[in-house]
Amino acid sequence: MRNIGPGIIMRIPFLTFLLVLVCLNGCSQNDHHDSRLPGNIQAAPLSNYFGVNAFEWDFEGAPDPTRLDPTRLNAIKNFTGIRHYMDWEKLEPAEGVYTFNPTENGSWNYDTMYQWCNSHGIEVLACLKSVPPWMLVSWPQDQRDNENVPVRFGKDFAVPSSYIEQGKVAFQYAARYGSNKNVDPHLLHTDPSNMVRTGLGLIRYIECDNERDKWWKGPKAYQTGRQYAANLSAFYDGNKNTMGPCVGVKNADPSMKVVMAGLAKPETDYVKGMIDWSLEHRGRRPDGSVDLPWDIINYHYYCNDADYDTHKKQTSGYAPELTNAATTANKFVAIARQYAKDMPVWVTETGYDLNQESPQKAMIINDKTVLETQADWCLRTSLLYASSGIQKVFFYELVDDNPMAGTVFATCGLINADRTRRPVADFFYQTNKLFGAYTYAGTINKDPVVDKYTSNGLFMFVLLIPDQKGRAASYTLDLGNAQTAYIYKPKPGGNDMDVVKKNTANGKIEITVTETPLFVTGYDCVISR
């Protein structure tokens, strides 16, 4: 499947669910699953799968960009994670001078933005991307693009020292927003409007650029896997501490996790090239594992009808189960297991357009609107990745890039321009509210899909039809000793799912399953809201 990321065009609080009612009559302990997560991979809570890509102007705005906007914040609260697209020039408008609060470019207040996310349990992945103007000017006029490989013109892409400038800004950022309070303040440099601060403990993850496999922009913007590994080596720890005391994330905060740039073309051979370079140039750690200069594998996958093998171009988005999304996830999880000690794998871009002219559009299916299909498919995407060993997902994106455009990725927004929720945000909010603490425990049936989830010894089942035809089917679910079944269905336009209460027959209940996921338990979750 051809999946091109938004790099081509640019681009709630965590509501913990604590059950206070035990299951009076018991829930099914059925251990007959045909699928479990492979290797030593630990299932992640469902809350991990409701992240969104956003910018600083989704938090702050006119008339004062240094202050948080309550209307914008209400929209952010619907999601559990933010992938913050962060242009390098915001942090380093002039070489060697760093700004955070306010940034020289735009006067944004990153301190306050991150503090708010932290206080509301929203995990931030900071994606440092693009080339700053003071570096870009070294390139010939006809080759200047802020998505070029992040080096001065003429530098060797294959050598870590070529990326020293990016390693330096990573150090400054990690020193401020990481958890290490013992960074020497004499190593930190801000402009006069900024105060030097260290160890704020607000950021745990930083991503080294975005879609470094930009084949569509030619050699000036494309890195091979081996070249990108050299880039990461500088960004990670100053190429094993050989580039000076102020280079690399780990030299500022050893606990901060480095996320590799999401791959636009989700192919594991690229990661294998990164691993090969690391083995050759960084060797092995004391435990025998390859000394990899990143902590999380990351790729992008947009579900559509394209086909790499037949060179078929995409014409429409597709339901996730009808694409290679699960197969691709399995391949990345497998390479992580084989070569990287079950390193976590994330998908940091996925989603669907609303405009029906877009080749990434969600479909109108029978009486369902395109907004409702977008909601179904995005929620099913989260559920598919939860059952495939992917540890975290971020959707593209919070707000439409261009609501009137039919171009790809222009209308992927999960909320409206006025910051109210679209049905997809309703579905995410409602699912996280009730079942965010649940983790995948196995697949019982494949069509309809019946997945089992657990939380603190209690069980929940997800049922859905993996199709895009408006199809329905009947399924008899075994809830063990439960005398009552509670069937929850996400509802557009509300804070809560619809719930239907039905008596079981010896623990069994016949359910009509549709393409909108149902969540079924043997106890009433409503009382724990």
The predicted structure's pLDDT at residue 311:
83
Alpha-carbon distance values, 16 to 141, 381, 394, 435, 477 (Å): 52, 21, 19, 9, 27
Domain that holds residue 198: 80-300
Q: Is residue 262 part of a domain?
A: yes
Section 245-251 average pLDDT: 97
Least confident range from 4-13, 346-355, 371-380, 390-399: namely 4-13
Confidence of residue 524 (pLDDT cuts 50, 70, 90): confident
Least confident range from 76-85, 237-246, 418-427, 520-529: namely 520-529
Section 341-356 average pLDDT: 97
**Assign residue 138 a region: left if phi > 0, alpha if psi is -120 to 50, beta otherwise?**
alpha
Q: What is the CATH number of the domain that holds 507?
A: 2.60.40
Confidence of residue 26 (pLDDT cuts 50, 70, 90): very low
Token code pair at residue 256: 């901060």
pLDDT digits over 403-424, tens only?
999 999 999 999 999 999 999 9
- Domain total of the chain: 2
Q: Is residue 168 part of a domain?
A: yes
Q: Is residue 423 part of a domain?
A: no
pLDDT digits over 493-514, tens only?
999 999 999 999 999 999 999 9
CA–CA separation, 336 and 8 (whole Å): 27
The H or E element spanning position 443 is strand 439-446
Per the model's pLDDT, the better-predicted residue between 100 and 529 turns out to be 100
The predicted structure's pLDDT at residue 362:
98
Decide if 204 contacts 257 (C-beta within 8 A). yes
**Assign residue 442 a region: left if phi > 0, alpha if psi is -120 to 50, beta otherwise?**
left
**Which residue in 120, 126, 19, 125 sits closest to 78, CA to CA?**
120
Q: Is residue 434 part of a domain?
A: no
Confidence of residue 89 (pLDDT cuts 50, 70, 90): very high
Decide if 231 contacts 222 (C-beta within 8 A). no
Q: Of 243, 268, 300, at which residue does a domain stop?
A: 300
The predicted structure's pLDDT at residue 529:
39
Confidence of residue 523 (pLDDT cuts 50, 70, 90): confident
Percent of the chain with pLDDT over 90: 89
Terminal Cα distance for the chain, rounded: 40
The predicted structure's pLDDT at residue 16:
33
The predicted structure's pLDDT at residue 310:
81
| Arithmetic mean of pLDDT over the chain | 92
Q: Is residue 216 part of a domain?
A: yes
Count the Cβ atoms, other than its own, within 10 Å of residue 112: 16
The predicted structure's pLDDT at residue 35:
55
The one-letter code for the residue type at 6 is: P
Section 269-287 average pLDDT: 98
CA–CA separation, 354 and 396 (whole Å): 12
Q: Is residue 310 part of a domain?
A: no
Confidence of residue 42 (pLDDT cuts 50, 70, 90): confident
Q: Of 256, 284, 300, at which residue does a domain stop?
A: 300
> What is the bridge-based pairing of β-strands 473-478 and 508-513?
antiparallel
pLDDT digits over 182-203, tens only?
999 999 999 999 999 999 999 9
Q: Is residue 136 part of a domain?
A: yes
Q: Of 278, 300, 322, at which residue does a domain stop?
A: 300
Q: What is the CATH number of the domain that holds 266?
A: 3.20.20
Range with top average pLDDT, 39-53, 99-113, 301-315: 99-113
Decide if 313 contacts 302 (C-beta within 8 A). no
Q: Name the CA dihedral angle for 391, 113, 349, 367, rounded to a multiple of 10 degrees.
A: 100
Q: Is the whole model's pTM more than 0.75, yes or no?
A: yes
Section 344-373 average pLDDT: 97
Q: Is residue 425 part of a domain?
A: no
Section 243-267 average pLDDT: 97
